[in-house]
Structure 1
Amino acid sequence: MSNAITFKILEDIAKDLSGDEITFPTFLDITFQVRSALKDPNLSIEQLAKLVGAEPLMSAKIIRMSNSVALNPSGREIADVKNAIVRVGMEAVRTVSFAVAMEQLLKSKQMHAFEGISKKLWEHTSHVAALCRVLARKVAKINGDEAMFAGLVHDLGVFYLMSRAANFPELVNDKVELHALLVDWHDNIGHALLSALGQPESVLKAVQEHETDREIVEIKSLSDVLYVANKIANRSASWRDPELDGAVDTSILDEIFDAETLAEIIEESEEEVQSLKSALGG
């Protein structure tokens, strides 16, 4: 019976993603509005502040971030969205907007059945996003904000699949079948979802390939960064159940890095994880 349900979910998703309207929690709407707005080279601080200000929770998080110790060494507090954006930077708004959306999604009623895996998934996502930022800056020499965003959305397919599976109690209660669905389909579903939401090709490619094992001689592209970040995070913060899926093979990391370099990257990424959690009030 479970296989029939899995097929039904995938069939529904295929119809959903090929249509004009995407059925997904509305928490993500503001995130992609912000991201689309940031593509406009003529976007002003005032325009972005108006968009962010329309979402009270996001406004509060942006202001909270601007008043953090790291960004406010003078101790002068900011209480308005416009000046908060000036302090944190326009690109940081994109990261916070998505993190807020995911926080809301995880707390939504439909995700209660997946509380355990959702917590592990968000922990994994936080580590991957942080590692992406560090690897992009230190190793690949590419845009760290873009890499962090890719890390934040790389497992969006898992969240999406869970939101659809919530309508099928039989599947929710079948841990083996549910886990297989999430593991086998999340990368392609995530790619399709992000494509439908108009995300750039570099992010789409990285998301689709983040589980595809391959040889990495040099970390150069966004796809390389996300793949390696995901491998590192899987050593200490994997969302998968090893009893159902086995341990993720991370041996490639020992071919790419020496122990000291890898330890430095992980240590630096931990600071980024805490910064992200602090921005969310976590």
Structure 2
Amino acid sequence: MNRIEAFGYIAAQAARGDIIFPTSVNAVLRLQLALEDPDCHLEDAIRLVLGEPQLAARTVALANTAAYNRGGGPAITNVRAAVSRIGYRRLQALVASLVVRQFGSRIVDPRLRAKVEQLWEHTAHVAALAEAFARRVTFVNPDTALFSGIVHEVGGFYLLSRADEFPGLLDDDPEKWAELCEDVVSREVLRKLAVPEPVAEAIVQVRGAWLNMPPDSLTDTLLLANQYSPVPSPLGTPMPPPPAHADSALDFVLDEETLREIQEEAAEVYQSMDGPSLA
């Protein structure tokens, strides 16, 4: 099967809703569904988090960042206090990050694994920046922005998880990759993961969109986060680097000091989210 046939096969599967998730993804999805249950009380959430050691570690780490400890209080050292501080919605975003990372769990090809790791670094930076830009610039819900950043490349992670089956699928064809990912696969993977429609629409609109001035939407938030991410996506056409702030229209929205604070805050949140591969 050549590349065009392979792309067509994967796209046709996605169009039918035939999305194949690794077993490890399905396991984390069960955790996600349990946490989204309105009858899931704090004790149940704590027990579920403790059952995933990496999730527990990242929950505590996130609770201790400046973004969630603005008063500079004592460091949190346990999951109970961490969940209470960051809240369920942020916890669900961290669970979504586990789902995203697990897509690389079956990949054998070292080149594909390297792409997965770079895509995760890009994703984590975008998520952290999206939350910071939401709080300071676009004023959309920061929790929604964080979640959107985490899942905005999930179509790419899914395609990477399938690429071992089709040698050469990704060779020298970034435009085809991006087109397939956005137009068919991303929408179906987002639907399969039950990503809320407003979030899914904002994600698919990012490719080819222009930043509004002043930026005020979830799509604008993701555009800003992608533009300022220090790690580019390894898939598709890379976004151009941001212009010097003084030469940018963004200068009319926030000053350089605030932009620097956003980047520093996001860098700390990124460090709390990033960790050893879950693959």
TM tier relative to shorter chain: 0.7 to 0.9
* Pair 1:12–1:151, CA change in 2 (3 A): same
Residue identity opposite 2:175 in structure 1: A
TM-score w.r.t. structure 2 length? Answer: 0.79
What is the Cα deviation at residue 7 of structure 1? Answer: 1.6
TM-score w.r.t. structure 1 length? Answer: 0.78
Q: For residues 110-167 of structure 1, give each alpha carbon's deviation from its aligned partner in whole angstroms, at most 9, with x where no partner exists.
A: 4644133223212221221122111111112221111011011101111111111220
* Pair 1:262–1:129, CA change in 2 (3 A): farther
* Pair 1:74–1:270, CA change in 2 (3 A): closer
Residue identity opposite 2:127 in structure 1: A
Match of 2:59 among 32, 57, 62: 62
Query: Which residue number in structure 2 is paired with residue 187 of structure 1?
Result: 182
2:141 corresponds to 1:143: yes
Listed as ranges, the matches of 1:182-221 within 5 Å are 182-188=177-183, 189-214=185-210, 216-221=212-217
Query: Which residue number in structure 2 is paired with residue 133 of structure 1?
Result: 131
Match of 1:257 among 225, 237, 250: 250
Listed as ranges, the matches of 1:84-163 within 5 Å are 84-106=82-104, 108-110=106-108, 112-163=110-161
Unpaired runs of 5+ residues, structure 2, are: none
- Number of residues paired by the alignment? 268
* Pair 1:111–1:61, CA change in 2 (3 A): farther
When the two chains are superposed, the root-mean-square deviation of aligned CA atoms in Å is: 3.3
Tell me the percent identity: 26
CA distance in 2 between partners of 1:213 and 1:66 (Å)? 33
2:271 corresponds to 1:271: no
Query: Which residue number in structure 1 is paired with residue 15 of structure 2?
Result: 14
* Pair 1:107–1:206, CA change in 2 (3 A): same
What is the Cα deviation at residue 277 of structure 1? Answer: 2.3
Residue identity opposite 1:137 in structure 2: R
2:158 corresponds to 1:168: no
Q: Secondary structure at the match of 2:216?
A: coil
What is the Cα deviation at residue 40 of structure 1? Answer: 5.2
2:74 corresponds to 1:74: yes
Q: For residues 217-266 of structure 1, give each alpha carbon's deviation from its aligned partner in whole angstroms, at most 9, with x where no partner exists.
A: 22222122112322333xx421247xx85764867x85531297367435
Q: For residues 9-38 of structure 1, give each alpha carbon's deviation from its aligned partner in whole angstroms, at most 9, with x where no partner exists.
A: 2223323xx25xx41124444554555555
Q: Relative contact order (C-alpha < 8 Å, sep 6+): which is higher?
A: 2
Residue identity opposite 1:62 in structure 2: T
Residue identity opposite 2:46 in structure 1: A
CA distance in 1 between partners of 2:238 and 2:155 (Å)? 20
Are the aligned partners of 1:210 and 1:226 in contact in 2 as well (CA < 8 Å)?
Answer: yes
* Pair 1:145–1:68, CA change in 2 (3 A): closer
What is the Cα deviation at residue 194 of structure 1? Answer: 1.0
Are the aligned partners of 1:105 and 1:111 in contact in 2 as well (CA < 8 Å)?
Answer: no
What is the Cα deviation at residue 211 of structure 1? Answer: 0.9
Unpaired runs of 5+ residues, structure 1, are: none
